[in-house]
Chains A and B, each alone.
Chain A
Amino acid sequence: MDSLFLLVPISLFLGLLGLGGFLWALRTRQYDDLDGAASRILFDDDHPRKETPK
C-alpha cells in the first residue's frame, strides 16, 4: 500500500497538468475557431511566401 503514496500524487499531478493545459488553451483562445483549426493542419505552407518586414 505504500506505493499509493507515490502513485496517487503522480496521477493527480498528471491530471492537473492536463487541466493546466486545457486552461492555457482556453485562455489563448484556441477554442474560438474549432472549424478553422481543423482545416489549418492541412495547409502546406504555414508562412506566407514573402519576407515579412518585421
Chain B
Amino acid sequence: MSLIGRAEPLVPSAVSAAACAHCGAPLAAGQHRFCCTGCEGAHALVAGLGLDAFYRRRETEAGALRPEETAPGLDLAPFVTTDRDGTQRLELLLSGLTCGACVWLVEQALAAEPDVLSARASLTARQLTVTWRGEAARANDVVALLARLGFRAAPWSPACLRATEDAEGRELTLALGVAAFGSMNVMLVSVAVWVGWDMGPALRHALHWLAAMIGLPVVLIAGMPFYRSAWTAIRAGRPSMDLAVSLGVLATTAMSLSETLRNGPYTWFDGATMLLALLLAGRVFDRAARRRARQSVAELLALQEGVVSRLLPDGRMEAVPAENIAAGDRVLVAAGERLRLDGVADADALLDAAATTGESVPRTFAAGDSLPAGAVNMGAAFAMMVTAAAKDGSLAAMARLLERAEQAKGRFVAIADRASRYYVPVVHAVAALTFLGWWGLLDAPWQVALVNAVCVLLITCPCALALAVPAVQVVAVGALFRRGVLVTSATALERLASADHAVLDKTGTLTEGRPVLVPEGQDAGTLRRAAGMARASRHPLAQALARACPDAALAEGVREVPGQGLLAGEARLGSPAFCGLGPSADGMTMVFRDGDGAPVAFRFADRMRDDAPAAVAALNGLGLPAELLSGDGEGAVASLARRAGIPAWRSSADPVAKQARIEALKAEGRHPLMVGDGINDAAALAAAHVSASPAGATDLAQTAADLVLQREGLAALPAAIRVARRAQAIARQNIGLSLTYNVFAVPAAVGGLVTPLIAALVMAASSIVVVLNALRAGKE
C-alpha cells in the first residue's frame, strides 16, 4: 500500500535535544525536556509502565500527542455494552493514533491494568476496542488513561461506522482475489496452448475446457461489481465505462465458450480474466485512498460530536446525545461549550457566535433572546430552554440548504465519464461494422466475423482508459494526504484544477478563529502566575492565556467563580469587573490582580494566520484572484483585507448572501473556490465550484467541503491546487496515450490479426504505461 502512504512525520523519530521528550514539539527557550506539564506527566506514566521503547519507534507528528490541559468532561459509561458473560466492551475512536508504536503503547498500557481483558487498536480505522470485567464506569478511567498519554478518545459513533463500514470494499477485495487467482491459472493453461505448436487437437480441446472451467466462474463472480454498475447505467440511459467493460468481458467469454464447444484454435478466457484483475486492482487502490480521507473527516467530526447535559425536574443532570433532546427540555451549557441546539436562556449569556454569523467579538444575549446553535459560551454556565429539537433547528435547516446546493453540484461530469460517453458508442459501432464487413462484404463464415468483432471489443476494452484517471487520482490523493489535505469527493481534484477565483471567509479561515493573547509588554512573572491560574479553567480566554505560557505550572487552590473569574488566595483573574475595574466593552479582556496590587490587563484578539498573506499571494499567482466575504462588520473586514492583501471584500454577509455571491460568480462564468469554516459558510461551500475548509472548522462546514485542510494554516491550499493541476494534466496525457494505443490496435483487430497472445501482451503493456505515467502525479 505504499502508493497511499501515511502522514509523514515532521520530526525524525530520534528526538533532538530541542524537542519535547514526549510529544516531539519544539521546545521554547527555557524549557527543559518537556514542552508542558501534561507531557511531563505522560512521559513519567509511560516510563512507569516500562514502555519507554515507544519513544524509539514513535513516528507521530510533532505536538500531536500533547495531552490536553483539561480532563474530558464526557461520561462514557452509557456507551459501554455488556456481553452475556458479564464482560464490558467499549469501542472508541482514538485521535493521535498514527503509527505502529502508538498502537503498541495504547495496547500495552491498557493491558497492564489488572481488570482489562483485551485491548485491540486498528491503525487504519483509528478504532480501539477494550474489554474488561467489572463496572461500566471503568470506561472513564480508560479514557482518562488515554488522555494522560496524549490520545483523545470519542465514542465510536455512527459517523465513523459509515466511513469505515466497508462491505463494498470487502466485496471488491474478494473479487480482486478471485480474479487474480483465475487469471493466473487460466494463463497457465493458455500459455501451453500458445507455445504448443505440435499439440494435437484433442489435447488442445481438453485444455480449452480446463480454461473454461476456471474462467467461467471467475468471470461471473469477479465481474459482479461491474455488471451491477453497468445495469444502473443502462437504466439511467447513460453509457458508462463499466458498461463497456461488462459488454467486452461478457462477449469475450461467450465467444470463448462457443470456440471451446466447436474446438476452435483459440479461446480468450485469459484476456477476460486479466482485464477484470487489472481493473479491480485499480479500483481497490482508489477506494483505499478515498476511504482514508473519509475516515479522517469522520474522526474530526466524532471528536466534535457532543453530548448535552439535560436538567431533570428534580435538579439532577443526565448526559444525553443532542438528537434525543426535544423542544421544551432544559439543558445546561457549560462555560466554553458549544451550543448544540437552539434555545432561550433564563439569564444573560455571553456568546461567541463567530461560527454562525461571522462576528469576531462575543456579544451578550439578553434573557429571552433566541440563541443560535453553533455559538460558543464565553461566559458562565447557564441553563437554557431548548426551542427546537435537533432535526427542526437552525443547524438542520442549514443542512437542508446544503443538500439542495449539493444536488446542483451533482451535475458535474468527471473527465473519465466524458471520455466514455463518446468512446463507448464509437467502439460498439466499430465492432458492429467489423462483423457486418466480414460477414456481408467478405463472405466469411459468421463465426469468423463474430470472432473478429469480439476481438475489437476485447482489445479496445478500455483497460488503459479505465485505469487512466483512477490511477492518477490514487497517487494525487495520497500525495495530498501526506501534506495534510483530505480529499473527500471523487471529482474534487478535477474541479480544484479548474478553479479560477477564490472566495475566502474571515473568521477562522484568514484568522485563527480563537482568541490569542495580544502581547503588550506584560511582566513575564505575572504572565506565568496568571497562566498557572488560567490553566484551571475551561473558559476560552483562560485557555488562550494558558496557551500563551505553556510551561506555567497549574496553580494550587484555584476556585472558579462562575461567569466572573478565578480566585487563588489573594490573587484574582477574571473579567475587569471581577477585579474592581469597569466592565469591558467586548468581553475580550482579562485582568489579573494580586491582592491590592496594580491590575494587569490581558487583551485577546482573533489574530490573522501568519501565512494568510503568503497564501493569498500564491493563489493570485495561480490565477485565482481572492475576495473576502464575511459576516462581520465593515471595519474589521476592511482592515483584515488590507493586511492580507485582498483588494475586494464584502462585510455583513449572511449565509444566503454568501451563497448568492457564489451563484453570481458562477453566472459570470467563473469557477469559484470557496474557503470557509463556519456554519454560515456551509451553504456557500456546497454551492461553490470547489470548496475547502481549514483545520478546526465546524462539522457542518467540513461535511460540505470537498477538501479539508488538516494542519493549521492555509499554506497547503496553493500546493493542493498545483498538485491537482498536475494530476489533471497527467490524466489527460493518460487518456491520450490509451487513445493512441487504440489507433494502432483497432485496425489490427478489425483485420482479424489479433491472437489471444497479442491481445494479452498489448493489454498488459498499455496498462503498465498508464500506471507508470500516473506515478508522476505525486511529485510537485
A residues in contact (CB < 8 Å) with B: 1, 4, 8, 11-12, 15, 18-19, 22-23, 26, 31-36, 38-40, 42-45, 48-50, 52-54
CB pair B188–A11 under 8 Å, yes or no, is: yes
CB pair A15–B181 under 8 Å, yes or no, is: yes
**How many angstroms from the CA of A1 to the CA of B177 in the assembled complex?**
31
CB pair A39–B123 under 8 Å, yes or no, is: yes
Residue of B nearest to A50 (CB): B112
Near A by CB (< 8 A), chain B positions 48-78 give 50, 53, 57
Q: In whole Å, how far is A23's beta carbon from the nearest beta carbon of chain B?
A: 7
CB pair A34–B178 under 8 Å, yes or no, is: no
The answer to whether residues A36 and B123 also contact, given A8-B210, A26-B170, A48-B112 and a CB cut-off of 8 A, is yes
Near A by CB (< 8 A), chain B positions 104-123 give 104, 107-108, 111-112, 114-115, 117, 121-123
CB < 8 Å neighbour of A49 from B103, B112, B173, B177: B112
23 contacts between A and B (CB under 8 A): A4-B203, A8-B210, A12-B214, A19-B177, A26-B177, A31-B170, A32-B124, A32-B125, A32-B166, A33-B125, A35-B1, A35-B100, A35-B123, A36-B100, A39-B101, A42-B100, A43-B104, A48-B112, A49-B50, A49-B111, A52-B117, A53-B117, A54-B117
**How many angstroms from the CA of A52 to the CA of B115 in the assembled complex?**
8
The answer to whether residues A34 and B185 also contact, given A19-B178, A26-B177 and a CB cut-off of 8 A, is no
CB < 8 Å neighbour of B100 from A12, A40, A44: A40
CB pair A38–B100 under 8 Å, yes or no, is: yes
Interface size in chain B (residues, C-beta < 8 A): 36
Q: In whole Å, how far is B114's beta carbon from the nearest beta carbon of chain A?
A: 7
Chain B 84-110 interface mask (CB, 8 Å, partner A; 1/0): 000000000000000111011001100
CB pair A34–B112 under 8 Å, yes or no, is: no
CB pair B133–A31 under 8 Å, yes or no, is: no
Give every chain B residue within 8 A of A8 (Cβ-Cβ): 210
**How many angstroms from the CA of A54 to the CA of B6 in the assembled complex?**
36
Chain B 403-417 interface mask (CB, 8 Å, partner A; 1/0): 000000000000000
Give every chain B residue within 8 A of A38 (Cβ-Cβ): 100
**How many angstroms from the CA of A34 to the CA of B166 in the assembled complex?**
14
B184 in the interface (beta carbon within 8 A): yes
**How many angstroms from the CA of A11 to the CA of B100 in the assembled complex?**
38
Q: In whole Å, how far is A31's beta carbon from the nearest beta carbon of chain B?
A: 6
Give every chain A residue within 8 A of B100 (Cβ-Cβ): 35-36, 38-40, 42-43
CB < 8 Å neighbour of A50 from B1, B57, B114, B185: B114
**How many angstroms from the CA of A19 to the CA of B111 in the assembled complex?**
35
Q: In whole Å, how far is B271's beta carbon from the nearest beta carbon of chain A?
A: 19
Near A by CB (< 8 A), chain B positions 533-551 give none
Residue of B nearest to A15 (CB): B185
B174 in the interface (beta carbon within 8 A): yes
CB pair B6–A22 under 8 Å, yes or no, is: no
CB < 8 Å neighbour of B174 from A15, A26, A34, A39: A26
Q: In whole Å, how far is B41's beta carbon from the nearest beta carbon of chain A?
A: 22
Give every chain A residue within 8 A of B125 (Cβ-Cβ): 32-33
B residues in contact (CB < 8 Å) with A: 1, 6, 50, 53, 57, 99-101, 103-104, 107-108, 111-112, 114-115, 117, 121-125, 133, 166, 170, 173-174, 177-178, 181, 184-185, 188, 203, 210, 214
Residue of A nearest to B181 (CB): A19
Give every chain A residue within 8 A of B108 (Cβ-Cβ): 45, 48-49
**How many angstroms from the CA of A8 to the CA of B207 in the assembled complex?**
10
Q: In whole Å, how far is A27's beta carbon from the nearest beta carbon of chain B?
A: 9
Give every chain B residue within 8 A of A35 (Cβ-Cβ): 1, 6, 100, 123-124
Give every chain B residue within 8 A of A32 (Cβ-Cβ): 122, 124-125, 166
CB < 8 Å neighbour of A39 from B53, B99, B184: B99
The answer to whether residues A42 and B112 also contact, given A8-B210, A18-B181, A34-B124 and a CB cut-off of 8 A, is no
Residue of A nearest to B292 (CB): A35
CB pair B122–A33 under 8 Å, yes or no, is: yes
Question: Could you list 10 further interchain pairs (A-B, Cβ under 8 angstroms) beyond the known A35-B124, A44-B53, A49-B50?
Answer: A18-B181, A19-B181, A31-B173, A32-B166, A36-B100, A39-B123, A42-B57, A50-B112, A53-B115, A54-B117
Q: In whole Å, how far is A14's beta carbon from the nearest beta carbon of chain B?
A: 10
The answer to whether residues A36 and B122 also contact, given A43-B104, A49-B50 and a CB cut-off of 8 A, is yes
Q: In whole Å, how far is B404's beta carbon from the nearest beta carbon of chain A?
A: 36
- When A and B form their complex, which 4 residue pairs have the shortest distance between CB atoms, in order from nearest? A39-B100, A48-B111, A36-B123, A33-B122
Give every chain A residue within 8 A of B170 (Cβ-Cβ): 26, 31
Q: In whole Å, how far is A35's beta carbon from the nearest beta carbon of chain B?
A: 4
CB < 8 Å neighbour of B177 from A22, A40, A42, A45: A22
**How many angstroms from the CA of A49 to the CA of B166 in the assembled complex?**
34
Give every chain A residue within 8 A of B133 (Cβ-Cβ): 53
Give every chain B residue within 8 A of A26 (Cβ-Cβ): 170, 173-174, 177
Give every chain B residue within 8 A of A23 (Cβ-Cβ): 174, 177
CB pair A12–B185 under 8 Å, yes or no, is: yes
CB pair A50–B111 under 8 Å, yes or no, is: yes
Residue of B nearest to A25 (CB): B177
Give every chain A residue within 8 A of B57 (Cβ-Cβ): 42
Give every chain A residue within 8 A of B173 (Cβ-Cβ): 26, 31
Max count, chain A CB within 10 A of own CB: residue among B6, B99, B100, B170: B100
**How many angstroms from the CA of A35 to the CA of B727 in the assembled complex?**
26
Residue of B nearest to A49 (CB): B112
Give every chain A residue within 8 A of B101 (Cβ-Cβ): 39
Q: In whole Å, how far is A29's beta carbon from the nearest beta carbon of chain B?
A: 9
Give every chain B residue within 8 A of A52 (Cβ-Cβ): 111, 117
Residue of A nearest to B171 (CB): A26
**How many angstroms from the CA of A6 to the CA of B174 in the assembled complex?**
29
Q: In whole Å, how far is B637's beta carbon from the nearest beta carbon of chain A?
A: 44
**How many angstroms from the CA of A54 to the CA of B150 in the assembled complex?**
30
CB pair B203–A15 under 8 Å, yes or no, is: no
**How many angstroms from the CA of A30 to the CA of B124 in the assembled complex?**
12
Q: In whole Å, how far is B639's beta carbon from the nearest beta carbon of chain A?
A: 46
Q: In whole Å, how far is A30's beta carbon from the nearest beta carbon of chain B?
A: 11
Residue of A nearest to B200 (CB): A1
Give every chain B residue within 8 A of A22 (Cβ-Cβ): 177, 181
The answer to whether residues A36 and B181 also contact, given A11-B188, A26-B173 and a CB cut-off of 8 A, is no
Q: In whole Å, how far is B91's beta carbon from the nearest beta carbon of chain A?
A: 14
**How many angstroms from the CA of A39 to the CA of B105 in the assembled complex?**
12
**How many angstroms from the CA of A4 to the CA of B170 in the assembled complex?**
36
Q: In whole Å, how far is A41's beta carbon from the nearest beta carbon of chain B?
A: 9
**How many angstroms from the CA of A45 to the CA of B111 in the assembled complex?**
12
The answer to whether residues A34 and B1 also contact, given A40-B100, A50-B112 and a CB cut-off of 8 A, is yes
CB < 8 Å neighbour of B124 from A15, A33, A43, A54: A33
Q: In whole Å, how far is A36's beta carbon from the nearest beta carbon of chain B?
A: 4
Residue of A nearest to B123 (CB): A36
Q: In whole Å, how far is B188's beta carbon from the nearest beta carbon of chain A?
A: 7
Give every chain A residue within 8 A of B210 (Cβ-Cβ): 8
**How many angstroms from the CA of A52 to the CA of B57 in the assembled complex?**
26
Give every chain B residue within 8 A of A39 (Cβ-Cβ): 99-101, 103-104, 123
